Amino acid sequence: MLVEVRAASINPLDKMVRNGEFKQLLKYKPPFVLGHDVAGVVTRVGADVREFKVGDEIYSRPRDLRIGTFAELIAIDADDVALKPSSLSFAEAGAVPLVAPAAWQAPVDVARVKPGQKVLVHAGAGRPRLHGHPGGRALGAYVATTAHTKDIEKVRDLGADEVVDYTSQDFAELLSGYDVVLDSLGGPNLEKSLTVLKPGGPAISVVGPPDPGFAKQLGQPLLAPVMKVLSRKIRKQAKTLGVRYSFLFMSASGAQLKTLAALYDDGTLRPVLDRTFPFDETLDAMAYVEQGKANGKIVITS
């Protein structure tokens, strides 16, 4: 279907793809248009599209190799599309199609979180890479998160059961016995996260080194040895502690966006926006995200 773009958000993944960090896995041929999520209006549909019609307000995370939402129009596979949550504006809806499914896929598809389990979500105040703790709360989990002092009340309002102020507290000293950790920071933070897990529990990272399972997800098993080397250090640390490490690269799914739309409309989930930029200031929006100042999602609007 052809979609008129009304809003699209800036994600760290855009910078990573622009800089060629995934060029061995995602073979984009330059020049290409960035942009991994969108909210807009359907202007044309293909002959085999049945669920959508011209004029529908939709949101989507176009699949890899079909991105390009920093544009006026984009063609999207109908399987990657869902009707926009009616309670959200285009700007709000444009902020969630990448991060919300990632936050859903980590606890649901990878960790299979059950009610009553304990989940640690890092940077819960609106870290652009992960929509974080609302996904855990929607599953009935006990959710702890890390946040800056100024954001403690904000993350509590979003549903966190416990908040660690990372400016003055060390989460690894305060937390233990967690079933799952969802990491969006990587590096030393990811390594310390392994220590708060129960035996056998997974630390799932959206920024850590890709593991052999990612090669299977991509359908490129020949890359598994390379990814095994890239993730060797963190996997060895996890094994020593009796826990597990998994890398998550969010996959497009219109069906999941449909499920999430209901959670936004009933108030279970809420988007967290920092600010919006007009379309002709997209480069400024990218620079703003790269400065690390965003306290929520950055959205460009038409």
CB atoms under 10 Å from CB of 276, counted, come to 19
- What was the pLDDT predicted at 12? 80
Q: How confident is the model at residue 127 (pLDDT cuts 50, 70, 90)?
A: very low
Show which of 202, 218, 247 is a domain's final residue. 247
One domain for residues 198 and 144? yes
Q: How confident is the model at residue 139 (pLDDT cuts 50, 70, 90)?
A: low
Show which of 247, 272, 293 is a domain's final residue. 247
Give yes or no for a cis peptide into 31 (omega within 30° of 0).
Answer: yes
One domain for residues 66 and 144? no
CB atoms under 10 Å from CB of 45, counted, come to 17
Q: Which sign, positive or negative, has the C-alpha torsion 279, 283, 286, 287? A: negative
One domain for residues 103 and 177? yes
One domain for residues 218 and 152? yes
Exposure b/e, 285-295, CB count within 10 A at least 16 = b: bbebbeeeebb
Q: How confident is the model at residue 138 (pLDDT cuts 50, 70, 90)?
A: low
Show which of 210, 227, 247 is a domain's final residue. 247
> What range defines the domain where residue 238 resides?
99-247
Residue that has been written with the tokens 């003055």 in this structure: 168
- What was the pLDDT predicted at 217? 74
Q: How confident is the model at residue 275 (pLDDT cuts 50, 70, 90)?
A: very high
Nearby residues of 23 by Cβ (< 8 Å), 6 or more positions away: none
54-58, 103-107, 172-176: the lowest-pLDDT one: 103-107
| C-alpha to C-alpha distance for 39 and 47, rounded to whole angstroms | 22
One domain for residues 105 and 91? no
pTM of the entire predicted model: 0.78
Look up residue 74 and give its amino acid: I
pLDDT in tens, 18-50: 988 878 777 888 899 999 999 999 999 999 999
Alpha-carbon distance values, 104 to 99, 119, 131, 132, 259 (Å): 9, 13, 8, 8, 10
One domain for residues 63 and 137? no
- Statement: residue 124 has pLDDT above 70: no
- Statement: residue 132 has pLDDT above 50: no
Q: Average the pLDDT over 1-5 and give the result.
A: 98
CATH of the domain at 291: 3.90.180.10
- What was the pLDDT predicted at 126? 53
Q: Average the pLDDT over 41-62 and give the result.
A: 97
pLDDT in tens, 164-196: 999 999 999 999 999 999 888 888 999 999 999
One domain for residues 224 and 284? no
CA gyration radius for the chain? 19
Three-state DSSP class for residue 25: coil
One domain for residues 54 and 28? yes
Half-sphere CA count of 32, side-chain side, radius 13 A: 19
- What was the pLDDT predicted at 67? 95
- Statement: residue 111 has pLDDT above 90: no
Instruction: Indicate the number of domains in the chain.
Output: 2
CA 197 to chain centroid, in Å, comes to: 22
One domain for residues 106 and 242? yes
One domain for residues 277 and 213? no
Alpha-carbon distance values, 77 to 32, 37, 44, 59, 217 (Å): 18, 13, 12, 12, 19
CATH of the domain at 160: 3.40.50.720
| C-alpha to C-alpha distance for 86 and 78, rounded to whole angstroms | 19
| Nearest C-alpha neighbor of 151 from the set 174, 172, 136, 133 | 133
